[in-house]
Structure 1
């Protein structure tokens, strides 16, 4: 047994958080968007590099802009699981929506402010969803990736939940980084260093 990990998937409403999770867990995609009615928790077992890990994946519904995104109001059982003790974060934005990118920026800042002093930094992977709508994107991929990796010091990846493109890869890379976060390197460097093939599958 490899252990357990707590992963939070956060972002503005409508960016595809639930769609990404459902593609990863069940291989399906809802053609019609339905707003998530409150945070949901999924508990899959995952095989990564020959070891089995129990995951807790929190699908956090986005709070309206200006209402402390990523704050305790998104976590009804915050006494048991809060931003402070989450092992890894996936911050999702819509590549066609600059507002959703600003939302992720605020989330990342909120996470940084709530981590206890001296606590290990949890890896953060910023994910641009809806890559299938590439022609409608609001900014060049290279510029956004450089900002996130160099300025925010987070990992960066783009995916398409609709076509299940890079969905497995984003979870694989995030988990690998979370498992090696104790190594003496910056979380962003560890995350980018994890971008090589690895075996990852659901049990």
Structure 2
């Protein structure tokens, strides 16, 4: 396959936020509810996006603090980063600061060297658990915007926005490469459609004790798109 169609993606975030579940959903169409702490796993999968076939090489990294020192330099050389947090765990979003700081330093180095900077998308996972939500959609979106990241909400269990999230990562990498080749400002974030303003309304609804979690919300969350 053409080297330009090879894309490396590192999946990072706190332990238990669903990084492995998201990765395995994409690669094997499997979901597991059992939490098995990951040190580091590598996968590959081919996807056709916008009529072009891409070979995706994914690294599912450790989230536990005791394993973070094992983050290899090769992880920071990835084309894209998926930063995952758990919408039911208010501390998991703050936990992404560690990773964004390292990625931002890598981004500065690449820009100084005239290389293509990395693409970053934040994913609020477990969006099927509306009754247990602790982080509002708009808070996750604003957190991502302040750090120049794209934003999605996902559910590995219900297969919500899994394929879409990785498709957005690929499109952003392709666009960043195109801008760099054209001598443009590849450091600027590549935005797609804005997140629908109806999210906050839906969040308010989900706080109702009479509303059931899960399937009734899936149709709405599948309509979310990355900004």
Please, what TM-score do these two structures have when normalized by structure 2?
0.73
Q: Check whether the contact 1:95–1:129 (CA below 8 A) recurs between aligned residues.
A: yes
Query: Structure 1 residues 110 and 166, CA, compared in 2 at 3 Å: closer, same or farther?
Result: same
Q: Does 1:82 find its partner at 2:78?
A: no
Q: Check whether the contact 1:40–1:60 (CA below 8 A) recurs between aligned residues.
A: yes
What RMSD, in angstroms, separates the aligned Cα atoms of the two structures? 2.3
C-alpha deviation, 1:188, in angstroms: 6.2
Q: Secondary structure at the match of 1:132?
A: coil
Question: Structure 1: how far apart are the matches of 2:187 and 2:119?
Answer: 5
Question: Structure 1: how far apart are the matches of 2:188 and 2:126?
Answer: 23
Question: Structure 1: how far apart are the matches of 2:63 and 2:140?
Answer: 22
Unaligned regions of 5+ residues in structure 2, if any?
196-227
State the match for 1:163 in structure 2: 158
State the match for 2:49 in structure 1: 48
Unaligned regions of 5+ residues in structure 1, if any?
196-203
Which of 126, 138, 141 aligns to 2:134? It is 138
Q: Secondary structure at the match of 1:144?
A: helix
Point out the structure with max Rg over C-alpha: 2
Question: Structure 1: how far apart are the matches of 2:28 and 2:75?
Answer: 26
State the match for 1:180 in structure 2: 175
Matches within 5 A, 1:1-203: 1-2=1-2, 3-36=5-38, 38-64=39-65, 69=68, 73-75=70-72, 78=73, 81-83=74-76, 85-115=77-107, 116=109, 117-118=112-113, 119-149=115-145, 151-182=146-177, 183=179, 184=184, 189-192=189-192
Q: Check whether the contact 2:59–2:75 (CA below 8 A) recurs between aligned residues.
A: no
Deviations 1:161-185 (A, max 9, x none): 1111111110011111111103235
Query: Structure 1 residues 68 and 107, CA, compared in 2 at 3 Å: closer, same or farther?
Result: farther
Which shows bigger deviation, 166-175 or 42-51? 42-51
Query: Structure 1 residues 60 and 68, CA, compared in 2 at 3 Å: closer, same or farther?
Result: closer
Question: Structure 1: how far apart are the matches of 2:187 and 2:30?
Answer: 31
Question: Structure 2: how far apart are the matches of 1:106 and 1:82?
Answer: 14
Q: Check whether the contact 2:80–2:118 (CA below 8 A) recurs between aligned residues.
A: yes
Please, what TM-score do these two structures have when normalized by structure 1?
0.81
C-alpha deviation, 1:153, in angstroms: 1.2
Query: Structure 1 residues 179 and 193, CA, compared in 2 at 3 Å: closer, same or farther?
Result: farther
